[in-house]
């Protein structure tokens, strides 16, 4: 058993007791109560406050790992408060001193122009099992962001942890933890949130982070970080939600803008060289706009069942399916189209990369000795030790081949969630700490090579991430949704995840039309998902696991016409998408925007998670159910229904008829007859 530091953070108002000390540090005022509660104010606004002193928690912990899923269990848990001793200041920072049963804790508060760093340093014989902070939670507190969260945008009232992992199938929780996941499991969690009043908090740590957002105690939002010796919090001052997103990007990076062709549409296709060329011919014959074909099965395919088809995990071309891949890519380039491939970091034991990497010591190592091998759905596998430059270089050589030998324009950089926390790494770093950083290392390996070789004329899309991925990933897709209308893991989960990623500093996003797992997808699902896809940055299809049975763009004449029309609408929006992408490259302002970013003074928008602003002027309320109407909130202003031309005054909630082909999309201040006329 070790001690864990638990900090309850209150972002609103100062908790308990009269102020014992007040320090003015430039534009920031730091108040410390007699009980050791802390409040930070700037321009008269409280941007951070705790209701009491931090807690140290101790427990016996076990971690189960299988198939990219993780189960954390704690037993014999106890906690002890740190006792406040004194507060001092040197004029540039303030320091709070605490004593605890297992050691001393010092808290240093250092403000700058747009943020304040709060560093908790523990002096004891061992790291704390966890540090828990009780943040003040008042009636108006809200908690938006946290990366790819799939059900809500405001997470108030929720309890969950932040740890990179497989999201699960169905997202309903339950005993089958190696398959199902739960509602907050995410490939791309971010230990950060924004309060709608215009400030944010970053937990600048790679350790597992847990939050209890006014659920157990309605007056406290607990933020807890495990395995702590030193913990840095970064308070983003705002003062507007847009400022918070920009400040997040200033601190943790933002992606470079891709080439204009990368805004799609992209068509997923597999089946081999002849099938890919036939798809290009069919798209052109049907006059369907597209800029890229992406074929994940260039590495080969593996039929799981008669209807479920997946791919082989390795990094070389399947010459049976693609006997002249370079010729195929050259032909697409002659047509002014682009080719995207696929890669992931798994090193499957039975494939050709395993033995040479094992012999050279390039794989992650097991605590028992030898290469760390774990089961995947494609067989026993290991991972490259990306803390080892030789291992990264080995993988990079195969990526170089994808560019030099086949002239690919980019690829899906899949996975990155599965580093076992007990692995041994060549750098000597703790795999527990490296687990959440593995996606950053994987994305950096892909992104830097492509940028070095192609400038910005490429596209790479990934699904896993953590704090810092804002600057290492280029385009992020949401992962494997179910091919259905289910609220747990189907089409309805796409919109909250897009919005939350945008609030978390990830502006370039995409998703699979019409889902990946489960299925088969229906015609209605495909048509509705297509409507949503037209109003997202990259409009992109995926055949899904049931590629032979899922509905596709060319299944019948009605679907072809529908997909062509919305592809043309997306194409017509490219100047607006490109302008928004340029802004995102400067300020991190996302293209898919929570309404809060446009209407920060409207309290009605805070909890909206099923509609969004697409750029500056379009409000998109996609139909996410098997119905032909939906409720829409229109903020203040003059709004025109894009597909009917009807005019509405804002400041109201209304129910809008929405037959297929007429999704509720509204234009601010002007009629978009140009979009309505597209056939």
pLDDT in tens, 316-348: 999 999 999 999 999 999 999 999 999 999 999
Residue 2 pLDDT > 50, yes or no?
Answer: no
Confidence of residue 174 (pLDDT cuts 50, 70, 90): confident
Residues 562, 568, 574: CA angle, nearest 5 degrees: 140
Predicted local distance difference test score (pLDDT) of residue 169: 87
Predicted local distance difference test score (pLDDT) of residue 638: 98
Q: How far is CA 265 from CA 268, 351, 492, 634, 640, in A?
A: 10, 34, 21, 29, 26
The token pair at 328 is 């195929």
Write the pLDDT tens digit of every residue in 411-429: 999 999 999 999 999 999 9
* Mean predicted confidence (pLDDT) in 50-55: 97
Interatomic CA distance for residues 225 and 228, integer angstroms: 7
* Mean predicted confidence (pLDDT) in 369-392: 96
Predicted local distance difference test score (pLDDT) of residue 372: 98
**Are the C-beta atoms of residues 133 and 223 closer than 8 Å to each other?**
yes
Predicted local distance difference test score (pLDDT) of residue 308: 75
Residues 642, 643, 646: CA angle, nearest 5 degrees: 70
Q: Catalytic residues, which ones?
A: 414, 417, 480
Residue 617 pLDDT > 80, yes or no?
Answer: yes
Interatomic CA distance for residues 579 and 537, integer angstroms: 11
**Are the C-beta atoms of residues 262 and 459 closer than 8 Å to each other?**
yes
Largest CA distance in the chain: 77
R_g of the chain, CA atoms, integer Å? 25
**Are the C-beta atoms of residues 583 and 245 closer than 8 Å to each other?**
no
* Mean predicted confidence (pLDDT) in 557-561: 98
Write the pLDDT tens digit of every residue in 93-109: 999 999 998 899 999 99
Helix (H) or strand (E) holding 498: helix 494-503
Q: DSSP code of 549? A: T
The token pair at 354 is 């395993």
At residue 30, φ and ψ (nearest 5 deg) are -115, 120
Confidence of residue 172 (pLDDT cuts 50, 70, 90): confident
Strands 379-382 and 665-668: unpaired
Confidence of residue 177 (pLDDT cuts 50, 70, 90): confident
Interatomic CA distance for residues 21 and 44, integer angstroms: 17
Q: How many residues does the chain have?
A: 679
pTM reported for the whole predicted model? 0.96
């Amino acid at each position: 058993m070790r001690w864990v530091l638990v900090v309850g953070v209150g972002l609103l108002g100062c908790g308990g007791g009269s102020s014992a000390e007040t320090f003015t540090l430039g534009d920031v005022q730091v108040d410390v109560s007699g009980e050791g509660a802390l409040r930070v104010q700037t321009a008269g606004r409280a941007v951070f406050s705790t209701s009491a002193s931090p807690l140290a928690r101790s427990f016996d912990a076990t971690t189960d790992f299988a198939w990219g899923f993780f189960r954390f269990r704690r037993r014999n848990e106890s906690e002890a408060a740190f006792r406040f001793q004194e507060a001092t200041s040197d004029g540039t920072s303030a320091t709070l001193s605490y004593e605890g049963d297992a050691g001393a804790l010092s808290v240093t508060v250092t403000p700058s122009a747009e943020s304040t760093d709060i560093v908790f340093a523990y002096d004891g014989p061992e790291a704390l099992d966890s540090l828990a902070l009780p943040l003040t939670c008042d009636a108006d507190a809200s908690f938006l962001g946290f990366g790819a969260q799939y059900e809500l945008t405001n997470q108030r009232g929720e309890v969950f942890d932040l740890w990179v992992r497989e999201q699960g199938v169905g997202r309903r929780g339950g005993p089958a933890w190696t398959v199902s996941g739960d509602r907050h499991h995410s490939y791309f969690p971010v230990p950060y949130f924004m309060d709608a009043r215009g400030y944010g908090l970053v937990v600048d740590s790679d350790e597992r982070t847990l939050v209890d957002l006014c659920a157990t105690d309605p007056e406290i939002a607990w933020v807890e970080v495990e395995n702590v010796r030193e913990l840095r919090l970064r308070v983003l001052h705002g003062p507007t939600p847009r400022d918070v997103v920009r400040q997040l990007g200033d601190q943790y990076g933002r992606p470079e803008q891709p080439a204009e062709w990368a805004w799609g549409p992209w068509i997923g296709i597999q089946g081999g060289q002849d099938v890919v060329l036939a798809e290009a011919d069919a798209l052109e014959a049907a006059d369907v706009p597209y800029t890229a074909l992406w074929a994940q099965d260039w590495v080969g395919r593996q039929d799981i069942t008669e209807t479920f088809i997946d791919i082989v995990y390795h990094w070389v071309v399947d010459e049976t399916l693609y006997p002249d891949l370079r010729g195929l890519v050259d032909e697409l380039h002659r047509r002014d189209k682009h080719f995207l491939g696929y890669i992931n970091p798994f090193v499957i034991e039975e494939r050709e990369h395993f033995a040479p990497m094992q012999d050279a010591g390039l794989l992650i190592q097991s605590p028992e000795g030898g290469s760390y091998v774990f089961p995947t759905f494609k067989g026993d596998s290991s991972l490259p030790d990306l803390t080892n430059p030789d291992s990264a270089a080995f993988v990079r050589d195969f990526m170089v081949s994808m560019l030099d030998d086949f002239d690919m324009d980019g690829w899906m950089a899949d996975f990155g969630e599965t580093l076992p926390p007990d692995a041994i790494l060549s750098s000597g770093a703790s795999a527990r700490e490296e687990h959440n950083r593995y996606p950053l290392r994987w994305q950096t390996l892909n992104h830097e090579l492509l940028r070095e070789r192609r400038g910005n004329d490429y596209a790479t899309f990934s699904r896993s991430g953590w704090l810092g991925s804002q600057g290492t990933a280029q385009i992020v897709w949401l992962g494997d949704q179910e091919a259905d209308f289910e609220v747990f893991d189907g089409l309805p989960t796409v919109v909250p995840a897009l919005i939350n990623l945008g609030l978390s500093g990830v502006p370039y996003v995409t998703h699979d039309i019409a889902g990946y797992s489960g299925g088969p997808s229906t015609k209605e699902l495909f048509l509705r998902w297509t409507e949503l896809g037209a109003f997202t940055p990259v409009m992109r299809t995926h055949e899904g696991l049931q590629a032979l049975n899922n509905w596709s763009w060319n299944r019948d004449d009605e679907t072809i016409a529908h997909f062509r029309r919305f592809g043309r609408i997306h194409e017509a929006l490219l100047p607006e998408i490109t302008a928004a992408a340029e802004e995102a490259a400067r300020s991190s302002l996302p293209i898919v925007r929570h309404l809060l970013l446009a209407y920060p003074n409207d309290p009605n928008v805070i909890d909206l998670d099923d509609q969004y602003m697409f750029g500056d002027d379009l409000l998109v309320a996609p139909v996410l159910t098997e119905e032909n109407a939906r409720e829409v909130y229109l903020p203040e202003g003059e709004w025109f229904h894009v597909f009917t031309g009807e005019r509405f005054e804002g400041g109201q909630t209304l129910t809008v008829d929405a037959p297929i082909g007429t999704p509720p999309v509204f234009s601010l201040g002007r009629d978009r007859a140009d979009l309505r006329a597209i056939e």
